Amino acid sequence: MKILIIGANGQLGKDMVTACKAANHDTVGVDLPQIDITDGNQTSRFISSVKPDTIINCAAFTAVDRCESDRAKAFAANRDGVAHLAEAAATCGAALAHISTDYVFDGTKREPYVETDLPNPRSVYGESKLAGEQVLAKILPRHYIFRIAWLYGLQGANFVKTIRTIALQKAHNGESLRVVDDQVGTPTYTREVCAQILAVLSQNTFGLFHCTAEGACSWYAFARHIIESYRIAVDLQPCTTVEFPRPAPRPANSVLENARLKKEGLNRMVEWRQAFAAFLEEERQPSGE
């Protein structure tokens, strides 16, 4: 397959390029400023020059708190950008795989969310990502939407790197580290997501897929697992969301069930601690960052 990856310099995009090349796909990766998906004409020109079989969109405005104060930018990238990609894909006969988020849900459900649950985003980021899903489904029948969550990997900034850095500082200064314990979700490793997406693309099974690791934990439990894995002797304390206010509201429960992947016999996502062990192993390799 000729695969075009948009957002190829991002946390997921970089690993997606590597995964596609490793699977011997004819792979083209692109990001700002070569392509700006908020610009419909430029996007259309770029895609018709590449003529991909499949586009994987890893590009988005992902700064969840900044979306609250810049609604226009959030919708320009996360809704209109997806519409431009879908229109360009339709013109050149390509399929489009798009990445979405657990934050499309309000977090009030007690059980894990399945694909048939009604989204009800609480943040501008979640609203704009849901709008992106909706325009894609409307414009292009040959689409895939993968809702992922709590992403970490070797590339870019993420919770693992942030906690490791802050924990080392706090340990050095003899201070405690407080992390919210009343938001539950599933840490999900970029490389697992890439492998899962490629497995689905090889089947031509279109539509919506929840795509996270198995199991769940709170941010506090994830932080504890991180500091223990790196053997950082910091005093880690749980706190509540109310004690740690952020501009964008987060869902209390954003655990996703990979119901569709399981139904199709395609689920290859492993338990989150097992995936984290694989991440640590990759990080120790000379090529890891």
Q: What are phi and psi of 275, to 5 degrees?
A: -65, -40
Is 125 labeled as catalytic in the residue annotation? yes
Nearer to ligand NAP, 171 or 241 (CB): 241
Among 20, 25, 27, 31, binds ligand NAP (CB under 6 A): 31
Q: From the CB of 80, what's the least distance to ligand NAP, in Å? A: 9
CA 225 to chain centroid: 21
Residue nearest to ligand NAP (CB): 10
Q: From the CB of 122, what's the least distance to ligand NAP, in Å? A: 15
Told to check if 226 binds ligand NAP by CB under 6 A, we report: no
Q: From the CB of 216, what's the least distance to ligand NAP, in Å? A: 15
Q: Residue 198 half-sphere exposure, CB side, CA atoms within 13 Å? A: 22
Told to check if 222 binds ligand NAP by CB under 6 A, we report: no
Rounded Cα distance between 241 and 202, Å, is 41
Q: Cβ atoms within 10 A of the Cβ of 204, count?
A: 9
Kindly report each contact of residues 22-26 with a partner whose C-beta sits within 8 Å and lies 24 or more positions away, as own/partner: 23/198, 25/1, 26/1, 26/2
Told to check if 83 binds ligand NAP by CB under 6 A, we report: no
Told to check if 19 binds ligand NAP by CB under 6 A, we report: no
Among 29, 119, 126, 156, binds ligand NAP (CB under 6 A): 156
Among 3, 11, 82, 189, binds ligand NAP (CB under 6 A): 11
CA 189 to chain centroid: 9
CB 43 within 8 A of CB 92: no
Told to check if 107 binds ligand NAP by CB under 6 A, we report: no
Q: Which H or E run includes 83?
A: helix 81-92
* Residue 245 DSSP code: -
Nearer to ligand NAP, 104 or 266 (CB): 104
> 59: buried, middle or exposed (CB in 10 Å: 19+, 13-18, 0-12)?
buried
Among 4, 7, 260, 279, binds ligand NAP (CB under 6 A): 7
Q: From the CB of 270, what's the least distance to ligand NAP, in Å? A: 18
Which tokens sit at 164? 């490791």
Query: Which residues bind to ligand NAP, rule: CB under 6 A?
Result: 7, 9-13, 31-32, 35-38, 58-62, 77, 81, 99, 101, 129, 148-151, 156
